[in-house]
Amino acid sequence: MNFKRIHTLIEIAQILNCEFVGDASSSIKGMNEIHVVEKGDIVFVDHPKYYKKALESAATTILINKRVDCPEGKSLLISEDPFRDFNKLTINFNPFIASKKSISETVVIGLGAIIQPNVFIGSNVKIGKNSVIHPNVTIYDNIVIGNNVTIHANTVLGADAFYYKNRPEGYDKLISGGRVVLEDNVDLGASCTIDRGVTGDTIIKEGTKIDNQVHVGHDTVIGKKCLIASQTGIAGCVIIEDEVTIWGQVGTNSGITIGKGAIILGQTGVTKSVAGGKSYFGTPISESREKLKEMAEIKRFLKDRKNS
């Protein structure tokens, strides 16, 4: 998530009321999670297991709960609770503002686009040319929809990421400040839910077609010309490369990659990253031919044991 202007390290420290290590005038352009962080960003870390990864990441500033040696050219923000303070920054730079109208005055709607009755569209949404938004669709703030996109009834774009920290008093939510981006010629079926990124974007690329009742988690990127059938659940931070086919009732783990041209057969549990150009089936996932052979061998073994 980029800020509207460049801020200095001392300005951010004053917002959080915390100590800092580094050049007070150093520039900070935004904030991001570790998997999408860029130079000029703040990243947060609150567990020793991930200190090294955060300190060696592309981030310029690390929001951390311990004073450690600061890498050259970087800066630290020393916080008692980095998770809480990361939320504080999201609220400061991207606050939630309640809507007063069903369709915000800040929406940009392209020529020939059709918006059916009972659609809600939040602030700063962009909808491309000749797109069709069917009844009862909900589009949260800052969503980007390309040209020739079709979104069927009851679909929700931009709900919060399912991301919580377990505290003694209960679960603490990481506030989402990212977006959903649909590129040109994307179709979404009825009752789909596409969560926005925590700080980055959830992206569905050009020409992809998604069936009814599909869930796409935060910060997931779905490539071009993919086909995804109904009742599929895709977790957060998944990368699905171009021309992947996913059949019905598939579920995935978070943080995995499905390679270009892969075919995932129905009811498969994608428990790990898989290479492209192959067909997969089963839980845990394996190549479909191997899985079918295994099932046939088990069936033969049980039959032989019964007859012995």
Distance CA 43, CA 23 (A): 17
35 is an active site residue: no
- Active-site residue (options: 7, 152, 215, 218): 218
What string of H, E and C letters represents the secondary structure of the chain? Answer: CEEEEEEEHHHHHHHHCCEEECCCCCEEEEECCCCCCCCCEEEEECCHHHHHHHHCCCCCEEEECCCCCCCCCCEEEECCCHHHHHHHHHHHHCCCCCCCCCECCCCEECCCCEECCCCEECCCCEECCCCEECCCCEECCCCEECCCCEECCCCEEEECCCCEEEECCEEEECCCCCEEEECCCCEECCCCEEECCCCCEEEECCCCEECCCCEECCCCEECCCCEECCCCEECCCCEECCCCEECCCCEECCCCEECCCCEECCCCEECCCECCCCEEECCCCEEHHHHHHHHHHHHHHHHHHHHC
Torsion of CA 272, 273, 276, 279, to 10 degrees: 0
**Would you please indicate which residues are annotated as catalytic (active-site) residues?**
218
